[in-house]
Every structure is written in C-alpha cells, then in structure tokens.
Amino acid sequence: MTVITFTYLIVPTGRFTGIPRNIAEGTITISNELLVNNLHAQIQQLLPHPFSNVPFYLRAFHPGPVEYRVMRQGIPISQYFSDSPTAEPHHVLIEEDAYHIHTL
C-alpha cells in the first residue's frame, strides 16, 4: 500500500464562486490503492454549506507538458498517481460538474 499526499485546488467558478481560499486549497493524504470515489468522498466531507451540495469531478494534474486527466469514479487512484506527486502547487483540480458530464 502506497500512501500519497495530494494538494488540491477547487476552481472558484460556477457554484464554487466565493469559496474561501482556505477551503479552496488544501492537502489530502490517502492510499493510492483506494478508488477515486474515496478521494471524492473525502473532499466532499471538507466542503462547508453551501458548497457541500455542488456536484464536482476531479482532474489529475501532472506538471510539465500540461496534462489533465478526468479522474473517473470507481477507478483506483494508482491509475492516476503511482506514488506521491512532486512538490508542485496542485495535483488535483476540483471543478463543478454543472452539466453532469462526469456523473457518478
């Protein structure tokens, strides 16, 4: 089991507009053997009202040549990150799923 630490950024658009910076940016430590659902649930629990009901999806961000990958529910986190990411500003971007494109 590999435990990894992510930094995340909630993109402050749509219903996330006005989210306080201390909530929009943070760190989460989780096993990369768990499913993306677990990461999603852990982030959901951190969101205060009225942001806790905003549907969202996660994108894995790998610095360098910009690469964003939608993190699908039900897939192990290890498919996106094999070990702890480098010390870059953000590893996971959280965006409102306003059109339910990435529905659970």
- Let me know if residue 74 belongs to a domain: yes
- Let me know if residue 79 belongs to a domain: yes
- Let me know if residue 28 belongs to a domain: yes
- What domain count does the chain have? 1
Query: What ranges in 33-103 are assigned the alpha helix state H?
Result: 36-46
Residue 30's nearest CA partner among 7, 8, 4 is: 4
Instruction: Please identify which residue in the block is written with the tokens 């939608």.
Output: 70
CATH number of 62's domain: 3.10.20.90
Q: pTM for this structure? A: 0.71
Q: Give the pLDDT score at 73.
A: 84
Average pLDDT per 10 consecutive residues for the chain, totaling 104 residues: 86 92 91 92 93 90 68 84 63 76 60
d(CA 54, CA 69): 20
CB 2 within 8 A of CB 32: yes
Q: Give the pLDDT score at 102.
A: 62
Q: Give the pLDDT score at 47.
A: 94
- Let me know if residue 102 belongs to a domain: no
* Domain housing 21: 3-96
- Let me know if residue 103 belongs to a domain: no
Q: Give the pLDDT score at 85.
A: 61
Q: Give the pLDDT score at 42.
A: 94
